[in-house]
Amino acid sequence: MPSPLIVDQLRKSYGGREVVAGLSFALQRGECYGLLGPNGAGKTTTLRCCLGLTAPESGTITLLDEPVPARAREARIKVGVVPQFDNLDPDFSCAENILVYGRYFEMPSAAIRARIPALMEFAGLAGKENTNIKNLSGGMKRRLTLARALVNDPDLLVLDEPTTGLDPQARHLIWERLKRLIGEGKTILLTTHFMDEAERLCHRLAIMDDGRIVTEGTPRDLIGRHIEKEVVEVYGEGAPAWAAAEAGNFSRRCEVSGETAFCYVDDALPLLAHLAERPALRTLHRPANLEDVFLKLTGRELRD
Amino acid sequence: MTTLDTSLPRFSRRIFAVWNRNFLVWRKLAIPSVLGNLADPMIYLFGLGYGLGKLLPDVGGVSYIVFLAAGTVCASTMNAASFEALYSAFSRMHVQKTWEAILNAPIDLDDVVGGELLWCATKATLSGVAILVVVAALGLVPSPLALWALPAIFLIALTFSAMGLIVTALAPSYDFFMYYFTLLITPMTLLCGVFFPVDQLPATAQAIGQALPLTHAVALVRPLLLGQLPVAPLLNVAVLLLVALVSYWIALVLTRKRLLS
């Protein structure tokens, strides 16, 4: 089956700065693909290019078999988009939001109305059809935006930081719904800078920095490829001095950030035994995760 | 990359989906909205028309309120178009990000701006026509020739909506709109024959007035409401149409630059 989205050598600059610098990736049908990166890595710009909302300088994009931007509008007929910032219509109720949005897809009103109960149910908003948007919580708005993006029964769902700004309960609910969609066979493209989100949802992901893909693969694969198995975090006033003097004996790679030393090891036992004799240093032992890969590849310094 | 997309406006039936969205919002507040739009011009029309009118001899061969009625229809259409194309369209574009949401659906920016133009013009037409209806009900309109004012009002509404969309495309915030009203809309109201015949003005002011679209709007509508044929209707229509088309094209190019770069 053809790929729902193929991006090849995409480039885009703003004011002389290359925001997307030769990006290539392709989605497989039915997978959830994540674009990860720090703020300013070019994630949102990449999505805008893919949807045909801005023209790239060079490179080709094929979205649901249509060339973008030339036939982006036609491609968007089978795409659903959840933008980074809520842009629900504040003058409408929940049901009206979905109804009006469906009309942009030239769907007959009766067909949209028939879909509204299922969409509201999916969003966990059953019974709130006539509620005004102003009376919804942040999580409810996000879910309604997701339901709105599904009004046209899209083949591809594009989500730009779907859970930014939500509390843990709201995030878990969104994840659960997205998993359900993946289970139904929808293809999903999402951007995020939450590693746990990517690890939970994405079949494959790409870590972006400075407009480029630094690495691509399954979450497990990336952790295996780029980082040691285990991490021992060492905290406390003496941690930086200890790291400078002794960490090298136990760990090939140890990064110090503030008063914490992150020791990456394949076998943590010798290090833990050593630390047990130094009660002034507090420790946290955990398996390596995607965040460790992300920080290794994109660095620890702030981006915005 | 700063190249401008200067291609001519593309029109499709999708503009009606955008129009329809605005119509549905308006419908929720239709009655207060119409009354609100009527109140201000009516106060001026009756206040000045009957109050000031008592002190005046006939103006342009008719009583002052009859003279003022046509000016009020035009000015009110202009104001309604400007308010909708500035404040309301800016809210939808910049504050609520409604346009952004629409652009994620299979609708192009040309459709969005086209739908906004048509909507602003519709709402302004309603404003102008509402005044015309009140004036007619008072028996101030002697001839069915006034029916020709209806398409004229729609054209005026289109013209000022298109001009307003240029300002919206450039506006960083609501404050910016004050310049447009102070520097263009208010002077136009005084230079274009809304309140008094332009031949009262010094020659320079008259010359400036001739170049302004509201002059052509008044020149078209006033005779029709008095039961006369306009002196140069083709010229008036051509000027309004030209301003509308060129303004719309500029507004679209600027909006493409603002939202699609």
Q: What is the pLDDT of residues A48-103, one digit of tens each?
A: 999 999 999 999 999 999 999 999 999 999 999 999 999 999 999 999 999 999 99
Identify which of B17, B24, B104 has the shortest CB distance to residue A51: B104
Is A26 within a domain? yes
Query: How high is the ipTM of this complex?
Result: 0.91
Is B91 within a domain? yes
Alpha-carbon dihedral angle through residues B181, B187, B191, B192, given to the nearest 10 degrees: 0
pLDDT at A230: 93
Q: What residue numbers bound the domain in which A242 lies?
A: 228-287
Q: Are strands A204-209 and A212-217 parallel, antiparallel or unpaired?
A: antiparallel
Residues A197 and A275 placed together within one structural domain of the fold: no
Helix-, strand-, coil-residue percentages of chain B, each rounded to 5: 80, 0, 20
Q: Quote the minimal CA–CA distance from A125 to chain B in Å.
A: 21
Phi-psi region of B61 (alpha: psi -120 to 50; beta: other; left: phi over 0): left
pLDDT at B260: 93
Residues A13 and A39 placed together within one structural domain of the fold: yes
Q: What is the mean predicted confidence (pLDDT) over A29-55?
A: 94
Residues of chain B whose beta carbon is less than 8 angstroms from a beta carbon of chain A are 1, 14, 17, 20-21, 24-25, 28, 96-98, 100-108, 259-261
Identify which of A14, A54, A83 has the shortest CB distance to residue B100: A83
Residues A143 and A10 placed together within one structural domain of the fold: yes
Q: Burial of A277 by CB count in 10 Å (0-12 exposed, 13-18 middle, 19+ buried)? A: exposed
Say how far apart CA A170 and CA A146 lie, in whole Å. 13
* Residue given tokens 């490179």 in the structure block: A59
Say how far apart CA B42 and CA B138 lie, in whole Å. 12
Q: What is the mean predicted confidence (pLDDT) over A33-41?
A: 91
pLDDT at A242: 93
Would you call B101 and A57 a contact, using CB atoms and an 8 Å cutoff? no
* Residue given tokens 């009660």 in the structure block: A279
Say how far apart CA B129 and CA A285 lie, in whole Å. 76
Residues A11 and A155 placed together within one structural domain of the fold: yes
Is B9 within a domain? no
pLDDT at B119: 98
Say how far apart CA B111 and CA A233 lie, in whole Å. 55
Is A303 within a domain? no
Say how far apart CA A185 and CA B10 lie, in whole Å. 36
Share above pLDDT 90 across residues of chain B, in percent, rounded to a whole number? 87
Residues A135 and A265 placed together within one structural domain of the fold: no
Say how far apart CA B210 and CA B216 lie, in whole Å. 8
pLDDT at A301 over 80: no
Is B29 within a domain? yes
Is B190 within a domain? yes
Contacts of B103 in chain A (CB under 8 A): 53
pLDDT tens-digit readout, A248-283: 899 889 999 889 999 999 999 999 999 999 988 999
Contacts of B101 in chain A (CB under 8 A): 83, 87-89, 101
Alpha-carbon dihedral angle through residues A23, A27, A32, A34, given to the nearest 10 degrees: 0
Q: What integer best gives the mean pLDDT of chain A?
A: 93
Residues A162 and A45 placed together within one structural domain of the fold: yes
Confidence grade of residue B2 (pLDDT, cut at 50, 70, 90): low
pLDDT at B115 over 60: yes
Can you give the CATH number for the domain in which A256 is found? Answer: 3.30.70
Confidence grade of residue B3 (pLDDT, cut at 50, 70, 90): confident
Would you call B25 and A106 a contact, using CB atoms and an 8 Å cutoff? no
**Helix pair angle (B15-28, A94-103), 10° resolution:** 160
Is B6 within a domain? no
pLDDT tens-digit readout, B78-94: 999 999 999 999 999 99
Say how far apart CA B148 and CA B136 lie, in whole Å. 14
- For residue B108, the chain A residue with the least C-alpha distance is A73
Identify which of B1, B98, B106 has the shortest CB distance to residue A87: B98
Q: Quote the minimal CA–CA distance from A74 to chain B in Å.
A: 6
Residue B114 · residue B18 · CB < 8 Å: yes
Is A297 within a domain? no
Is B116 within a domain? yes
Q: What residue numbers bound the domain in which B225 lies?
A: 15-260
pLDDT tens-digit readout, B40-96: 899 999 999 989 998 888 888 899 999 999 999 999 999 999 999 999 999 999 999
Residue A49 · residue A22 · CB < 8 Å: no
Residues A166 and A271 placed together within one structural domain of the fold: no
Radius of gyration of chain B (CA): 19
Q: Which residues pair with A253 in a beta bridge?
A: A264
Is A298 within a domain? no
Would you call A89 and B101 a contact, using CB atoms and an 8 Å cutoff? yes
Identify which of B20, B24, B104 has the shortest CB distance to residue A83: B104
Is A294 within a domain? no
Long-range contacts, B61-64 (Cβ 8 Å, 24+):
B62/B226
Share above pLDDT 70 across residues of chain A, in percent, rounded to a whole number? 99
pLDDT at B1 over 70: no
Say how far apart CA B31 and CA B37 lie, in whole Å. 10
Contacts of B17 in chain A (CB under 8 A): 103-104, 106
pLDDT tens-digit readout, B202-245: 999 999 999 999 999 999 999 999 999 999 999 999 999 999 99
pLDDT at B136 over 70: yes
What is the number of domains present in chain A?
Answer: 2
| Single-letter residue type at A143 | R
Is A23 within a domain? yes
Q: What are phi and psi of B211, to 5 degrees?
A: -85, -5
Would you call A88 and B101 a contact, using CB atoms and an 8 Å cutoff? yes
Say how far apart CA B155 and CA B164 lie, in whole Å. 14
Contacts of B1 in chain A (CB under 8 A): 13, 57
Say how far apart CA A55 and CA A186 lie, in whole Å. 26
pLDDT at A304: 63
Can you give the CATH number for the domain in which A37 is found? Answer: 3.40.50.300
Q: Burial of B196 by CB count in 10 Å (0-12 exposed, 13-18 middle, 19+ buried)? A: middle
CB pairs A-B closer than 8 Å: 64
Would you call B105 and A96 a contact, using CB atoms and an 8 Å cutoff? no
Is B3 within a domain? no
Q: What is the mean predicted confidence (pLDDT) over B151-171?
A: 98
Q: Are strands A187-192 and A156-160 parallel, antiparallel or unpaired?
A: parallel
Q: What integer best gives the mean pLDDT of chain B?
A: 94
3-state secondary structure chain A: CCCCEEEEEEEEEECCEEEEEEEEEECCCCCEEEEECCCCCCHHHHHHHHCCCCCCCEEEEEECCEEECCCHHHHHHHEEEECCCCCCCCCCEHHHHHHHHHHCCCCCHHHHHHHHHHHHHHCCCCCCCCCEHHHCCHHHHHHHHHHHHCCCCCCEEEEECCCCCCCHHHHHHHHHHHHHHHHCCCEEEEEECCHHHHHHHCCEEEEEECCEEEEEECHHHHHHHHCCCEEEEEECCCHHHHHHHHHHHCCCEEEEECCEEEEEECCCHHHHHHHHCCCCCEEEEEECCHHHHHHHHHCCCCCC
Is B53 within a domain? yes
What is the number of domains present in chain B?
Answer: 1
Of the candidates B209, B50, B220, the one whose C-alpha atom is nearest the C-alpha of residue B151 is B220
Confidence grade of residue B29 (pLDDT, cut at 50, 70, 90): confident
Would you call B260 and A85 a contact, using CB atoms and an 8 Å cutoff? no
Is A128 within a domain? yes
